[in-house]
Structure 1
Amino acid sequence: MAFDYKKEYKNLYHPKKQPEIIRVPKMNYIAVSGSGDPNQEDGTYQKALGLLYGLAYTIKMSKKGEHKIPGYFDYVVPPLEGLWWSKDQQKIDYAHKENFAWISMIRLPDFVTKKEFDWAIKTATEKKKQDFSQAKFFTYDEGLCVQIMHTGSYDNEPATIEEMHQFVKKENYQIDIQNPRYHHEIYLSDPRRTKTERLKTVIRLPIK
């Protein structure tokens, strides 16, 4: 049976519906950075997703090719994630998504080294006749955070985020959003196949 990160690490991917504090370990990702409205048709965000999934499945399906990655085990591709901020300010303004800046990313299994990542870039570029060089091997050490499971529209996140802020204050912590620690979301639902009111998103904020 394929290893499923969502099932094996429920503390990271299935938080409670109330805020909770967690220390997140360092992890490696495929990452593409950019800016602009993520909903723009054929925009930079949509193109970034194509790069991420193209590489994720190049690595996953390497088991069927001649190139054998040391330590490889079969796994379910982890969910899409994103680090978000607004240009020139810390607070995300949902009314002006054109000002969003982001790092879109998918977790890599531990057996994927920088060398194997570079192999995947080269292989995907050759097979798909597309430039994948914008994607980077990204290590993120998130550390101490507050997180919650948000259900519903992405546009309704501000109320959930306010709940997280109040919880953090009550617990005598402070929100610590500053480079390189950002507002973090993990998308457990496919918006193309899930009703808006049932979308499940992990929201995670760095604290100190």
Structure 2
Amino acid sequence: MDKYDVRKQFKELYAPRARDFAVVTVPPLNYLMLDGQGNPGTAPEYAAALEALYSVSYAVKFASKHAGRDYAVGPLEGLWMADDPGAFTRGDKDSWKWTMMIPQPDWIGPADLQDGIANAAAKKVPRLDRLRLETLDEGLSVQILHIGSYDDEAPTLHRLHHEFMPANGFGFAGPHHEIYLSDARRVAPEKLKTILRQPVRRI
């Protein structure tokens, strides 16, 4: 049996171009999620969230492989929010709220999650009690590939929010969604590849 890979299964969603905005329809997808708040570059809570997500995702993957269904662990993704939307343009990262998440195959259920949490708990991984398995249904969305530093996303997002969306009759229908195709620990900031996605609705 072929190894399942969400990036290959949904290539249109995980391989956009960097030149143009693309309108896509995102089906309901399952994610392992963890909520938090604070600067992703400095907040201990953010680092702990990633450790919990990756530890449990790999524990669940290896258990599934042992049971006969192998798959590639999906990329890290994040939903980003703020009580004051201006916090993003001002760079007020301490007030950012986020949901970090990793996609899971549709055959992974609550029992698999609990087994993965138990495995990670034996290794003293933090924040495990805050993990949840949830289906995200974004539907109609606009996305583009951003190449470069996370801090350089603002001009692209400004074009999306103030030019492309109004010109095409779109309004906001969910939080800003980022998909991290590069490992920031190993890739230079100017070469980072990040999908910027915005769920939308017709207005």
User: TM > 0.5 between the two?
Assistant: yes
Q: Aligned partners of 2:144, 2:167: CA distance in 1, in Å? A: 16
Q: Decide which of 176, 180, 184 is 1:191's aligned counterpart.
A: 184
Q: Aligned partners of 2:6, 2:90: CA distance in 1, in Å? A: 30
Q: Which residue of 1 aligns with 2:74?
A: 78
Q: CA RMSD in A?
A: 1.7
CA displacement at 1:36 relative to structure 2: 0.4
Q: Aligned partners of 2:42, 2:49: CA distance in 1, in Å? A: 12
Q: How does 1:1-208 map to 2 (within 5 A)?
A: 2-17=3-18, 18-40=20-42, 43-63=44-64, 68=67, 73-86=69-82, 88-91=83-86, 92-93=88-89, 95-125=91-121, 127-131=122-126, 132-165=128-161, 166-176=163-173, 181-208=174-201
Overall identity of the aligned pairs, in %: 38
> Structure 1 pair 63/115, CA: closer, same or farther in 2 (3 Å)?
closer
Q: Give the TM-score of the pair, scaled to structure 1.
A: 0.87
Q: State the Cα deviation string for residues 97-131 of structure 1 (Å, max 9, x = none).
A: 11110000000111101222222222322x31335
Q: Aligned partners of 2:140, 2:119: CA distance in 1, in Å? A: 36
Q: Aligned partners of 2:59, 2:125: CA distance in 1, in Å? A: 13
Q: Aligned partners of 2:104, 2:5: CA distance in 1, in Å? A: 12
The structure carrying a bigger helix percent of its residues is 2
Gaps of 5+ in 2: none
Q: State the Cα deviation string for residues 74-104 of structure 1 (Å, max 9, x = none).
A: 1110000000012x22342452111110000
How many residues end up aligned between the 2 structures?
196
4+ residue stretches of structure 1 with deviation over 6 A? Answer: none
Gaps of 5+ in 1: none
Q: Give the TM-score of the pair, scaled to structure 2.
A: 0.90
> Structure 1 pair 139/206, CA: closer, same or farther in 2 (3 Å)?
same
**Aligned amino acid, residue 89 of structure 1:** D
